[in-house]
Amino acid sequence: MGSYVQTLLILLLAGAGLLPVPLKSAEGDQPDGAGLYKQKCSMCHGAEGKGFTALKTPDFTDPKWQEGITDKEIVETIKNGKKGTPMPAFGDKLKDDEIQALVAYIRSLNSNKK
Ligand code: HEC
C-alpha cells in the first residue's frame, strides 16, 4: 500500500529536480559579444574599442579601419592572433559562435553605424 505512494512521491520529486536542467540549457545559448569583449579584449582594445596608442591597437570605431578589414580577416585574427604583435590567439579559448558574436560586436562599434 505505502510503497505505491512512495513511488509516486519519488517520481514527483525526480520530475521536479530534473525540470530546471533542460529549461536552463534551452535558454541563453546566444553568446554575448559585448560581455566577451569586455572580459577578454577591452584591456588591450579599450572599453570603447578605440585602442591604445602605446599598444598599437587599432581604432575599431574608425570607419576607415572597418572598411579595410573583412569579417573573415577579423575571425582569423581572433583565432590565430597576429604574429609579432601582442594580439593573442583565441582559437582554443573561444567557440566559433562566440567569435562570430565578437565580430558582430566589433562591427557595431563603427562610428558610421550610429
Ligand atoms: C594582450 C593584448 C590584446 C588582447 C587581450 C586582444 N588583442 Fe586584439 N590586438 C592587439 C594588438 C596589439 C593588435 C594590433 C596588431 C597589429 O599591430 O597589427 C590587435 C589587433 C586586433 C585586430 C585587428 C587585426 C588586424 O588585422 O588589423 C582585431 C580584429 C582584434 N585585435 C580583435 C581582438 C579581440 C576580438 C580580442 C578579444 C577576444 C582581442 N583582440 C584581444 C592586442 C590584443
pLDDT digits (tens, 9 = 90+) for 40-85: 999 999 999 999 999 999 999 999 999 999 999 999 999 999 999 9
What value does the mean pLDDT take over residues 30-44?
A: 96
Relative to the CA of 105, which ligand 1 atom is closest?
35
Q: Is 105 in the pocket of ligand 1 (CB under 6 A)?
A: no
Tell the residue number behind the cell numbers 598599437, with chain if given.
Answer: 56
pLDDT interval class at 13 (50, 70, 90): low
In this prediction, residue 4 has a pLDDT band, given cuts at 50, 70 and 90, of confident
**CB-based burial, 69-86: b 16+ in 10 Å, e otherwise:** eeeeebbebbeeeeeeee
Cβ–Cβ under 8 Å, residues 86 and 41: no
- Ligand 1, residues 80, 87, 90, 108: which to mutate, most atoms within 8 A of Cβ? 87
Please report which confidence band the pLDDT of residue 8 belongs to, taking 50, 70 and 90 as the band edges.
confident
User: Taking Cα atoms as reference points, which of 47, 105, 99 lies closest to residue 78?
Assistant: 99
